[in-house]
């Protein structure tokens, strides 16, 4: 079949699937149902494309170039709204929050994110040991060797800045620069700047209440407009998920997945255990895990298909507030911080598994208490500033392996299966941020249990 003709047919099929999802919306099928259906159709369509044409064929490549207009376009819309959403959400939350409650809220959210990351690192290390994963015997091909060289360059750039400098860089010199999304700590920098504006407004309220009230009204107006933009963009989720899953499945390297299947299985076993731990934590605080599973299906599935914690942030916040009954302040702060701190999958499970795999090649027993304690502490602290986009786990792994004194070459060997594992990691990351919002608001007596249980 002619390549151009095949591409046209594939695009027509994609448009037909999108039209089908639109019909379901007009018939008032639930949003979650349409998202899950979009994911399922994407998996099936992608598998058919790879089966007929092959993952590296021109037909698949050109078809996905058109599909990306929908999938990547949707991701870009979400990322477009992330920084404005973080800024206005944090400012409005602080203005509405009592200063004493603000400190407790932030402390509890960060503590939950870090504690669950430590638990995730322990689970990742234990799973790697149970599956007897080892770096010995793995051979690097040409593409993996190139990936290793790129990772070593990134590591050198990272090591050129001491940890003190990296912490200080969270405070922006030019607050408008991180608002463009630039820099490795852009999200945290925006949070810091927004927090200062909110705190300053509280201070002005005592001496100049009129000025504070006028600013409060301005921020509320901007917040309403931004949230309306979020609503408009979220309506496109089923179509974005359909295109993203089609591209991911149709281009997956089956041979590489089979070669490293043991690592893939072990990774998902660890991620499932971490997710179960999230549900147990909710249960311990009197929050029904079954309801959580039902109401968070949409953000979790989108996180799975998009591989972007930052891109999922608008859906994350909307779900926490409107479905889970989490107050705006808790939802905004937990979701925002969760894109850069305490990512259970990317900063906990993955680096710990790699460390346990590599340690024996360096003559280290990874199951000694001293090694495990150090690994857990390093993984938790290294979770600060991990970018909430696809690939952030690789940078987290570089950081942990470097601090642990282990070689980093294995990270390059796993580049080929990164997208497949990263889907599950991102889902766990987003779940952790929602758990942080739920638990912290529950502890402070501000979780709306009537809305949660409705």
What per-residue confidence (pLDDT) applies to 125? 93
CATH code, domain carrying 442: 1.10.3860.10
Angle CA(194)–CA(195)–CA(200) in degrees, nearest 5? Answer: 100
- Is the distance from CB of 441 to CB of 327 less than 8 angstroms? yes
Q: What is the pLDDT of residue 412?
A: 61
Cα–Cα distance measured from residue 138 to residue 413, given in angstroms and rounded to the nearest whole number: 8
CA–CA separation, 312 and 307 (whole Å): 9
Listed as ranges, residues in the chain with pLDDT below 70 are 1, 97-100, 136-167, 181, 183-185, 255-256, 258-259, 385-392, 409-416
d(CA 34, CA 335): 24
> What would the two tokens of residue 190 be?
């925006």
Contact 238, 34 (CB under 8 A): yes
Rounded Cα gap, residues 315 and 298, in angstroms: 8
* DSSP codes, 235-260: TTHHHHHHHHHHHHHHH--HHHHHHT
Residue 101 burial class via C-beta count within 10 angstroms: exposed 0-12, middle 13-18, buried 19 and up: middle
CA angle, 342 as apex, 89 and 382 as ends, to 5°?
125
Report pLDDT for 291: 96
3-class state of residue 174 by DSSP: coil
DSSP 344: I
Residue 371: closest CA among 145, 127, 122: 122
CB atoms within 10 A of CB 211: 12
Give me the domain span that covers residue 245: 3-453
Query: Looking at beta carbons, which pairs linking 57-61 to residues 24 or more positions away fall under 8 Å?
Result: 58/3, 59/3, 59/6, 59/7, 59/10, 60/250, 60/251
168 C-beta neighbours (distance < 10 Å), count = 10
Residue 262 CB partners (closer than 8 Å, separation 6+): 131, 133
Q: What is the pLDDT of residue 443?
A: 94
- Which residue bears the tokens 């080892």? 134
**Cβ-Cβ contacts under 8 Å for 378 (sequence gap 6 or more):** 400, 403, 404
Q: Are 427 and 309 in contact (CB under 8 A)?
A: no
Q: Can you tell me the distance from the alpha carbon of 327 to that of 77, in angstroms, rounded to the nearest whole number?
A: 25
Residue 308 exposed, middle or buried by CB count within 10 Å (0-12, 13-18, 19+): buried
Q: Which tokens belong to 117?
A: 């990351």
Q: What is the DSSP string of 408-454?
A: -HHHHHTGGGHHHHHHHHHHHHHHHHHHHHHHHHHHTT---HHHHH-
Supply the pLDDT for residue 162. Answer: 58
Nearby residues of 330 by Cβ (< 8 Å), 6 or more positions away: 105, 109, 320, 437, 440, 441, 446
Q: Are 349 and 368 in contact (CB under 8 A)?
A: no
The answer to whether the beta carbons of residues 348 and 110 sit under 8 Å apart is no
Widest CA span in the chain: 75
Q: Which token pair is 374?
A: 């150090």
In angstroms, the Cα distances linking 122 to 79, 84, 125, 386, 419 are 32, 36, 5, 19, 23
> What is the Cβ-side half-sphere exposure of residue 378, based on CA atoms within 13 angstroms?
21
Helices (H), 131-185: 142-159, 163-168
The Cα–Cα gap between 13 and 18 comes to: 9
pTM above 0.75, yes or no: yes
Report the domain count for the chain.
1
Integer-rounded Cα radius of gyration of the chain: 22
* pLDDT score for 141: 46
The pLDDT of residue 66: 94
């Amino acid at each position: 079949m002619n390549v151009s003709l095949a591409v046209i047919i594939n695009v027509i099929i994609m448009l037909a699937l999108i039209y089908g999802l639109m019909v379901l919306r007009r018939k008032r099928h639930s949003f979650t149902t349409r998202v899950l259906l979009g994911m399922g159709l994407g998996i099936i369509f992608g598998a058919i494309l790879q089966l007929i044409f092959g993952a590296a064929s021109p037909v698949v490549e050109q078809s996905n170039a058109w599909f990306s207009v929908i999938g990547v376009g949707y991701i870009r819309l979400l990322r477009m709204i992330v920084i404005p959403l973080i800024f206005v959400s944090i400012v409005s939350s602080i203005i509405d929050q009592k200063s004493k409650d603000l400190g407790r809220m932030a402390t509890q959210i960060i503590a939950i994110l870090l504690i669950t990351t430590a638990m995730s690192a322990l689970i990742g290390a234990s799973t790697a040991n149970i599956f007897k994963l080892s770096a010995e015997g793995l051979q690097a091909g040409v593409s993996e060797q190139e990936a290793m060289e790129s990772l070593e360059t990134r590591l050198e750039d990272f090591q050129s800045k001491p940890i003190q400098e990296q912490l200080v860089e969270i405070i922006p010199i030019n607050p408008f620069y991180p608002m463009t999304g630039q820099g490795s700590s852009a999200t945290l920098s925006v949070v810091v700047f927004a927090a200062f504006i909110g705190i300053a407004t509280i201070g002005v309220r005592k001496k100049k209440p009129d000025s504070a009230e006028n600013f409060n009204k301005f921020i509320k107006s901007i917040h309403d407009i931004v949230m309306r933009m979020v609503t408009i963009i979220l309506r496109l989720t089923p179509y974005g998920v359909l295109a993203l899953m089609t591209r991911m499945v149709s281009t997956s390297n089956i041979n590489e997945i089979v070669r490293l299947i043991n690592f893939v299985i072990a990774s998902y076993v660890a991620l499932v255990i971490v997710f179960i731990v999230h549900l147990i934590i909710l249960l311990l605080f009197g929050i029904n895990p079954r309801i959580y599973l039902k109401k968070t299906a949409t953000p979790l599935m989108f996180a799975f298909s998009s591989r972007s914690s930052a891109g999922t942030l608008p859906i994350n916040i909307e779900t926490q507030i409107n479905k889970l009954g989490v107050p705006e302040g808790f939802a905004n702060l937990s979701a925002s911080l969760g894109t850069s701190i305490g990512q259970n999958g990317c900063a906990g499970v993955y680096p710990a598994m790699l460390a346990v795999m590599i340690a024996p090649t360096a003559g280290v027993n990874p199951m000694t208490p001293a090694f495990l304690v150090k690994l857990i502490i390093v993984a938790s602290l290294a979770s600060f500033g991990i970018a909430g986009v696809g690939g952030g786990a690789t940078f987290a792994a570089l950081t942990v392996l470097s601090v642990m004194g282990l070689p980093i070459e294995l990270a390059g060997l796993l580049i080929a299966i990164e997208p497949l594992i990263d889907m599950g990691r991102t889902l766990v990351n987003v779940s952790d941020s929602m758990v942080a919002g739920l638990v912290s608001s529950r502890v402070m007596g501000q979780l709306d249990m009537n809305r949660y249980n409705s």
